[in-house]
Amino acid sequence: MRLILALTSLLSLTACSSWHADPEDVVPVPADRVLAYQEPLQGAGEVVVTRDFGWRGGGCYIALMIDRELAARVHVGEEVRLQVPAGQRIVSIGVDPMDDTLCGKLSLRREKLAQVEAGQTLNYRIIVDNQIGFDIVPQKP
């Protein structure tokens, strides 16, 4: 009985956290959900965002925005590559404004300031943490 209680307690602490997707399990965001920043730009950089696997929010798309403009609707285990003009950019996540289900009624806004250099690739992960909920964090390639 004690073993079951210990395992249940441990599971409850980790069940809502996401886990980093193995590269072979990641799929591209389908083209119909990539809404901006797909055209090659002179002197641009690339922002690559991968959403972790996890149960929390697993049935919902997360809105990925560049400079507060909706760029993609990202699901669990998906990755998107965006061609972003060089300069200071706001890379953020939020509630999908195209979602009219319960997911679209939530509140979420996490923003990071990114310095995009021409020819540079910046990598980010959309994570779920037990303490803070959803977040977008820089990732080393």
Give pLDDT tens digits for 19-70: 677 778 889 999 999 999 999 999 999 999 999 987 666 678 999 999 999 9
Of the two residues 86 and 10, the one the predictor is more confident about is 86
Give pLDDT tens digits for 70-113: 999 999 999 999 999 999 999 999 999 998 777 777 788 999 99
Domain borders along the chain are: 2-139
Q: Do residues 140 and 114 lie in contact, with contact meaning Cβ atoms separated by under 8 Å?
A: no
pLDDT at 4 over 50: no
pLDDT of amino acid 5: 40
pLDDT of amino acid 57: 63
pLDDT of amino acid 25: 81
